[in-house]
A and B are shown apart, each in its own frame.
Chain A
Amino acid sequence: MDLVKPAFGLVFWMIISFSVILFLLKKFAWGPILNSLTERENTISDALNTAQKAKEEMLALKAGNEKLLQEARNERDLLLKEAREAKEMIISEAKTKATEAADKILVSARENISNEKMAAITELKNYVATLSIEIAEKVLKQELADPNKQKELVQTLLKDTKLN
């Protein structure tokens, strides 16, 4: 059967030309093609990895920002609280100080008033005393101008003053 009997010439040419084409394609086609395929795949996977990394970094950055923002917000709240407290403290302090000062003023005013009053009273007393003495002097001068009357007075005075 010709159909199933390999022809010598065909096998001969096939082996020779297949070896030649294998060599040529290996050197000029498969080598460069496979190399650049691998290279391209590496480039793509590298690019994907880089993108993934960048994404992760972005996420980290975002989380950091969030944290920073939260911290800032907390700080602001704290500051506000402190400020409020300080304000209240200052107000209350001022109030107490004002009260104290008012009290002091009141006290000193009262003292002054009493002092002035005392001074006025003393002055008045002194004036009344001098006035009384002057009056008494005038009265006495008038009364005692007559020596009888002087005697009469001495007599009365002596009468009132009982010797024990």
Chain B
Amino acid sequence: MLNNINGFRSFLLKATLFLTAFVFSTFLSVAHEHEVKTTHNEETIVTEVAEIDSLSHHDTTATHSTAEKFNAGKLIMEHIADAHDWHVAGDFAIPLPVIIWSKERGLACFMSSNFHHGHSTYKGYMLEEGHVVAVNEMEETDAHHATVNEEVTAGLYDISITKNVTAMLISMAFMLWVFISIARTYTRNPNTAPKGMQSLLEPLIIFVRDDVAKASIGEKKYKKFMPFLLTVFFFILLNNLLGLVPIFPGGVNLTGNIAITFSLAFITFLITTVNGTKDYWRHIIAMPGVPGWVLFLLTPIEILGVFLRPFVLMIRLFANITAGHIIALAFFSLIFIFGEMSPIAGYSVSIFSVAFVVFMTVLELLVAFLQAYVFTLLSAIYFGSALEEHSHAEEHH
């Protein structure tokens, strides 16, 4: 008993240290980035100012003061949104491949470093607020003088390996490595107690099987859905957790990206639709035992429900994870907002901000598990409802 308490205490201590280290590294990276941004801004402003000065005599002090001001909203949105390069620390960003297909111009593949962080065009494309747009100038020029070709931009398909795609591929590779290696342990030493990674993941696998799949789909048919449920559960969980890690392979708001949650919900929708029994569709289109005139009201609602369910799945995961990222970043932004007033205010607010971010990170750890569980559970419930055989007694009601 005493040993347990001691173990728990040391665990708590370690966890707190770990979290604090994490939070501080986020803080540092945000701080650094802010610094880099302001210097960047200054550089561009200096060049702009020079250009503008040579052309006409504008009042440059106004632009200078507004550009220097810390913009929390912009910072947060940049952190949450996808990007064509992966900013690691300071000035260092990993360039990622840009793949663009256009009806008029065909396929174009090149590294995002060619854009020089949006400062130049390349092969007739440039970055505008993180998006690739087509420009009229086909040769490399300064992006600030390029003109956007609206017609080509409208027919553009951007399938670049962005930051989110990279993070997704990394997490998937990690999942493949972990699960295939533990699968090998299972087949190599059958009927032995789990060890190491196996004993960490086995309770989760059994949890998904017994409390999610078996409970919602039923003992008979759950097996068919296990691969999807397990993959979804671990994909969401892993990426939720990685999203909380502020340093390199983590920190990407992947499960808080609507495209990712849309894709996951879409797959759930597809599986539900494909596996829907005759009984399931009959209950949607014409609920048995309901008078005809009620069906006019009920059927549209039921049909709407079919699409609403995956839609809700998509929104829930997206909103929960994005909110977590926004809150953490907002607390950090507070430091800079106050820091702009006076350095002392910035330092004193930083104590509270860091404390709050530690608290929020702990909460987000819970949310990471909870949302992975909720997504998996609801998917399982939808599959279960699609497979459900209504008893005849029920139909007579």
Residue positions of A touching B, CB distance < 8 A = 2-15, 17-18, 21-22, 24-26, 28-34, 36-37, 39-40, 43
Residues in A with CB closer than 8 Å to B130 are: 2
Measured between C-beta atoms, what is the minimum distance from A138 to chain B in Å?
138
Secondary structure dominating the interface of B: helix
With A9-B165, A21-B176, A25-B179 already in contact, the answer to whether A3 and B80 are too (CB < 8 A) is yes
Residues in A with CB closer than 8 Å to B318 are: 4
Contact A14 B179 (CB under 8 A): no
Residue positions of B touching A, CB distance < 8 A = 77, 80-82, 99, 130, 157-162, 164-165, 168-169, 172, 175-176, 179-180, 182-184, 186-187, 190-191, 202, 205-206, 209, 223, 226-228, 230-231, 235, 257-260, 262-264, 266-267, 318, 322
Measured between C-beta atoms, what is the minimum distance from B296 to chain A in Å?
32
Residues in B with CB closer than 8 Å to A39 are: 190-191
Q: Could you write out 27 A-B pairs with CB less than 8 Å apart?
A: A4-B258, A4-B318, A6-B262, A8-B157, A10-B164, A10-B260, A11-B266, A13-B169, A14-B165, A14-B259, A17-B168, A18-B172, A21-B231, A24-B180, A26-B227, A29-B180, A30-B183, A30-B226, A31-B183, A31-B227, A32-B186, A33-B186, A34-B209, A36-B187, A37-B186, A37-B206, A40-B190
Contact A15 B266 (CB under 8 A): yes
Measured between C-beta atoms, what is the minimum distance from A72 to chain B in Å?
45
Cα(A22)–Cα(B175), bound, Å: 11
With A9-B157, A11-B263 already in contact, the answer to whether A3 and B182 are too (CB < 8 A) is no
Residue of A nearest to B202 (CB): A37
Residues in B with CB closer than 8 Å to A25 are: 175-176, 179-180, 227, 230-231
Cα(A8)–Cα(B81), bound, Å: 14
Residue of A nearest to B186 (CB): A36
Measured between C-beta atoms, what is the minimum distance from B233 to chain A in Å?
11
Residues in B with CB closer than 8 Å to A21 are: 172, 175-176, 231, 235
Measured between C-beta atoms, what is the minimum distance from A150 to chain B in Å?
150
Measured between C-beta atoms, what is the minimum distance from B222 to chain A in Å?
10
Residue of B nearest to A17 (CB): B172
Cα(A21)–Cα(B262), bound, Å: 17
Cα(A21)–Cα(B263), bound, Å: 14
With A10-B162, A11-B259, A33-B205 already in contact, the answer to whether A18 and B235 are too (CB < 8 A) is yes
Measured between C-beta atoms, what is the minimum distance from A157 to chain B in Å?
145
Cα(A7)–Cα(B254), bound, Å: 12
Residues in B with CB closer than 8 Å to A2 are: 77, 81, 130
Measured between C-beta atoms, what is the minimum distance from A5 to chain B in Å?
7
Cα(A8)–Cα(B164), bound, Å: 12
Measured between C-beta atoms, what is the minimum distance from B97 to chain A in Å?
11
Cα(A4)–Cα(B205), bound, Å: 32
Contact A11 B262 (CB under 8 A): yes
With A10-B260, A17-B172 already in contact, the answer to whether A33 and B165 are too (CB < 8 A) is no
Residues in B with CB closer than 8 Å to A15 are: 263, 266-267
**Known A2-B81, A13-B159; 10 more pairs at CB < 8 Å:** A6-B262, A9-B99, A10-B162, A10-B260, A11-B263, A13-B169, A28-B183, A29-B176, A30-B230, A32-B183
With A8-B158, A39-B190 already in contact, the answer to whether A33 and B182 are too (CB < 8 A) is yes
Residue of B nearest to A20 (CB): B172
Contact B264 A18 (CB under 8 A): yes
Interface centre among B80, B206, B262, B322 (most CB of A within 10 A): B262
Contact A22 B228 (CB under 8 A): yes
Measured between C-beta atoms, what is the minimum distance from B305 to chain A in Å?
21
Contact B162 A9 (CB under 8 A): yes
With A34-B209, A40-B191 already in contact, the answer to whether A6 and B158 are too (CB < 8 A) is no
The 8 A-B residue pairs whose C-beta atoms are closest, nearest first, are A10-B259, A29-B179, A26-B227, A14-B263, A6-B259, A36-B186, A32-B183, A9-B159
